[in-house]
Amino acid sequence: MEILKDRIRQQGRIVSNEVLKVDEFLNHQVDPELVMEMGREFARLFRGEGITKVLTIESSGISVAFATALELKVPMVYAKRKRTLITEADAYSERVPSFTKGIVTDVIIAKELISPDDRLLIIDDIMANGDVVRGLIRIIERAEADLAGIGIVIEKSFQSGARAIREQGIRIESLVRISGLDRDRVEFE
Amino acid sequence: MEILKDRIRQQGRIVSNEVLKVDEFLNHQVDPELVMEMGREFARLFRGEGITKVLTIESSGISVAFATALELKVPMVYAKRKRTLITEADAYSERVPSFTKGIVTDVIIAKELISPDDRLLIIDDIMANGDVVRGLIRIIERAEADLAGIGIVIEKSFQSGARAIREQGIRIESLVRISGLDRDRVEFE
């Protein structure tokens, strides 16, 4: 997606050789029209797949998942990162490490929101080691639902997450793939 | 907004006489078309106000704020609830209690994302005691930006948040106002 590469070149900030910040248009400030373009592209890629729901995790995946669900005319579900007073006792929970947060969190989805009849599309903003997405995949398996595929805005292909998941035969579509982060340059595949 | 009242009657779940769960269409699962209706309504209410950005807080405000920002053709900024490894050192931070989470959190916005030239519309899903919104208002004041008003999807008018903020002369538009929660009935104003 050339428009996204351009925006990353203009506004992405390289924090280290592993971390790229896209806080000006995706992860803190959000450009709604650019995110709608992402949603339209994911909808185009997965339209024939019989998707019943789009699944993401709070918070940075929500905008893109919303745009994709709007285009596919299906509901969006976002997994929560920990229990609150009003979360269902009856929920799937998986423990996952978070690469950028440097902590372990519980990923939680109310059981009533995923059924064996569902065919899910996972959407997330950035894939590094893929731990959170693997947590969502385990929840889909426990719910006996189908996983149609995974849409990622920015895949850091120099980290192992996406490769390991593709090796399980799961379809991942990434809007851009980054093969390396230099001090002053983002290398795209 | 009658369509929203109907949905609350059908799918809202009364957890206690203070807590209403709307996890089936707004706070965990999201109905994109209903949320776009909310965004169009907020955009209609505030269109003449010269809004430069829509401001919300992760996570449950993001979808509605995104829809509103898309309609107003401005960026959306979501405040974060605590520091991560890649959050700016250069950020506004306000400590606020959370009614539903039962804990105190830090609300954080990178300084570069709000300037004195900005005129902001705060959007959030539910207003109870208004603590989080008051935190956002303090950040807007510290940034010397303008607050155009506040759009709330569900105002629980039997709690004091919205009333106290209106008494400061700040405009709040709520799509529905709930005056009470009975064991089996939501009372709308």
Query: What pairs with residue B176 in β-bridges?
Result: B154
- Indicate the pLDDT class of residue A105, thresholds 50, 70 and 90: confident
Supply the DSSP string of B21-64, one letter for each residue.
Answer: E-TTTTSSEE-HHHHHHHHHHHHHHHGGG---EEEEETTTTHHH
pLDDT of residue B23: 95
Nearest to B122, CA basis, from B107, B132, B108: B132
In the predicted structure, residue A84 carries a pLDDT above the cut 70: no
Please, are residues A138 and A109 in contact by the beta-carbon 8 Å criterion?
no
B75 → closest Cβ in A29, A67, A73: A29
> In angstroms, rounded to a whole number, what is the distance separating the alpha carbons of residues B151 and B73?
16
Nearest to A165, CA basis, from A178, A152, A179: A152
Residues of B with Cβ-Cβ distance to A88 under 8 angstroms: 23
Nearest to B75, CA basis, from A63, A31, A36: A31
pLDDT of residue B103: 75
The CA dihedral of B73, A36, B155, B188, to the nearest 10 degrees, is 110
In the predicted structure, residue A24 carries a pLDDT above the cut 70: yes
Cα atoms in the 13 Å half-sphere on the side-chain side of B38: 30
Chain A neighbours among B 88-117 (CB < 8 Å)? 88, 100-102, 109-110, 113
pLDDT of residue B100: 63
Higher pLDDT, A160 or B78: B78
| Span B107-132, average pLDDT | 95
Domains and CATH numbers, chain A: 2-188 (3.40.50.2020)
B29 → closest Cβ in A25, A75, A85: A75
In the predicted structure, residue A80 carries a pLDDT above the cut 80: yes
Which residues, in sequence order, are CB contacts of B47 under 8 Å at separation 6+?
B72
- Indicate the pLDDT class of residue A89, thresholds 50, 70 and 90: confident
Q: Where are the beta strands (DSSP E) in A22-171?
A: 29-30, 53-57, 76-79, 91-97, 104-110, 119-127, 146-156
Return the number of CB contacts < 8 Å for A and B: 113
| Span A74-90, average pLDDT | 78
pLDDT tens-digit series, residues B123-168: 999 998 999 999 999 999 999 999 999 999 999 999 999 999 999 9
pLDDT of residue A53: 98
